[in-house]
């Protein structure tokens, strides 16, 4: 009786390959003790044998070249940068008008108000930045009832 094999989906194959990498790297981790330190977070250091470390570096380089620097990811990164700059410029232009009252209160008395606004924007989650950008720049988005 012949057995039918289902083709492995690319997601399943990807998970399998990641598991193979992890099953090779994790057991190879060793702990090195650094003399002269009492604090465990400094005294103990995780290390990999040279061949495993070379493999990890090769994987990181592959991901950087094939994923991080891919045009699709670079387009998204550029768009995100433009959104951050646009939101910052609006908040900077008239802080009292555009910042939430509690944030403005802190920025208004700060030694460096622009730094405070910059920190506020840097602390935004992706979702919050997107909502703020849409509320400021998308004609059909935003309401007086939106919570800032």
Give the pLDDT of residue 89. 98
pLDDT for residue 44 is more than 70:
yes
When comparing pLDDT for 144 and 97, which is higher? 97
The DSSP line for 55-88 is HHHHHHHHHIIIIITSHHHHHHHHHHHHHHHHHH
pLDDT for residue 148 is more than 70:
no
The answer to whether 63 and 71 have CB atoms below 8 angstroms apart is no
Please report how many Cα atoms fall inside a 13 Å half-sphere around the Cα of residue 7, on the Cβ side: 2
pLDDT for residue 26 is more than 70:
yes
Stated pTM of the model: 0.66
* Model confidence band, residue 132 (pLDDT cutoffs 50, 70, 90): very high
The answer to whether 130 and 83 have CB atoms below 8 angstroms apart is yes
Give the pLDDT of residue 9. 65
Per-residue pLDDT tens over the stretch 74-113 = 999 999 999 999 999 999 999 999 999 999 999 999 999 9
pLDDT for residue 120 is more than 80:
yes
The answer to whether 99 and 117 have CB atoms below 8 angstroms apart is yes
Q: How much is the mean pLDDT over the chain? A: 91
**Domain chopping of the chain, boundaries:** 24-69, 72-137
Per-residue pLDDT tens over the stretch 52-72 = 999 999 999 999 999 999 999
């Amino acid at each position: 009786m012949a057995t039918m094999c289902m083709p492995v989906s690319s997601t399943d194959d990807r998970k399998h390959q990641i598991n193979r990498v992890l099953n090779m790297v994790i057991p190879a981790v060793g702990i090195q003790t650094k003399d002269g330190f009492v604090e465990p977070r400094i005294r103990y250091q995780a290390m990999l044998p040279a061949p495993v470390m070379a493999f990890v570096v090769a994987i990181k380089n592959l991901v950087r070249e094939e994923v991080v620097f891919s045009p699709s990811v670079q387009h998204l990164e550029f768009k995100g940068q433009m959104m951050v700059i646009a939101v910052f410029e609006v908040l900077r232009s008239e802080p009292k008008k555009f910042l939430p009252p509690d944030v403005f209160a802190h920025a208004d008395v700060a030694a460096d108000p622009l730094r405070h606004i910059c920190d506020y924007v840097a602390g935004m989650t992706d979702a919050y930045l997107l909502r703020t950008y849409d509320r400021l720049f998308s004609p059909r988005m935003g309401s007086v009832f939106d919570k800032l």
